[in-house]
Amino acid sequence: MAKQLNKLAGQKIAIIGGSSGIGHGAAILLHEAGAIITIISSNKPRVEAAVSALGGPSNSVQGRVGDVRDEAAFTALLRELAPLDHIVFSGVDNIIRGPLVDADLDEAKRLFGVKFWGSVVTGKALAKYDIVRNGGSLTLTSGTAALRPGAGASIGGALNGGVLALTKGLAAELKGKKIRVNTVVPGLVKTELWDKQGHSKEKQETLFKERGEKLPVGFVGTPADVAEAYLYTVRADYANGTLIVIDGGDQI
């Protein structure tokens, strides 16, 4: 039983987008579970801050700068880090939300380039090169807008829906290498992305209070809450092609 509890001890995990938000929450929990963590982000100061927050740099925590929009350079980085046991992809630095008529399509395309095409770049690298060991995993990140987009979330829903479809396809593509592919599908989460939307702290507190009261769990989750789903997908050897919805019961 103790061996099962310490399953991740010494395993090497790269967390793409692990410098902030949900990705950083996953980095913290996986590090606490005994894994050797590499945080990857395109923002060097944020990488350094995230590594420092985990007590690094050290033998168990390091950071690397990489941009998924540069396929050749990013693939080279992953090959340099190999062999890895697992990869978590949580790369996103904004939210696509609002009336479609007001949509900034250039910004939307940029975000597709990070979250969707970045996931594709990562999956392709794993298929082409021996980056993740047999029996390892890739965990992507989607969002509940894919399940129930609603007004104001048509583009975001399409982006996240693409990740869901990609998950199933990659699970089939990588089965020969015995690499599992799953996706975490978070609902509303308290992260720094709300600051980027221009919402004041007061407005955020009001929003989270109102939305939290409507959720069956009675509160809006934090990155630490959502991180539990990543711990599951990394540890669960029988989970493959699976979508893990973690939204406080919002789908009920």
**Residue ranges of domains in the chain:** 2-194+223-246
Q: Tell me, what's the pLDDT at 12?
A: 99
Helical (H) or strand (E) element with 12? strand 12-16
Residue carrying structure tokens 């509160």: 219
Residue 198: what pLDDT? 65
Fold observed for domain 2-194+223-246: Rossmann fold (3.40.50)
Q: Please give the Cα distance from 209 to 238 (Å, whole number).
A: 37
Q: How far is the CA of 153 from the CAs of 102, 133, 195, 237, in angstroms?
A: 12, 37, 18, 33
**Whole-Å CA distances, 26 to 37, 73, 123, 158, 223:** 10, 24, 19, 24, 7
Predicted TM-score of the model (pTM)? 0.94
pLDDT in tens, the chain (252 residues): 556 778 999 999 999 999 999 999 999 999 999 999 999 999 999 999 999 999 999 999 999 999 999 999 999 999 999 999 999 999 876 777 788 998 899 988 988 999 999 999 999 999 999 999 999 999 999 999 999 988 888 999 999 999 999 999 999 999 999 999 999 999 999 987 766 666 678 888 888 899 999 999 999 999 999 999 999 999 999 999 999 999 999 998
Q: What is the pLDDT of residue 107?
A: 87
- Whose tokens are 């062999």? That residue is 83
Q: How far apart are alpha carbons 63 and 117 in whole angstroms? A: 22
pLDDT, residue 196, reads 67
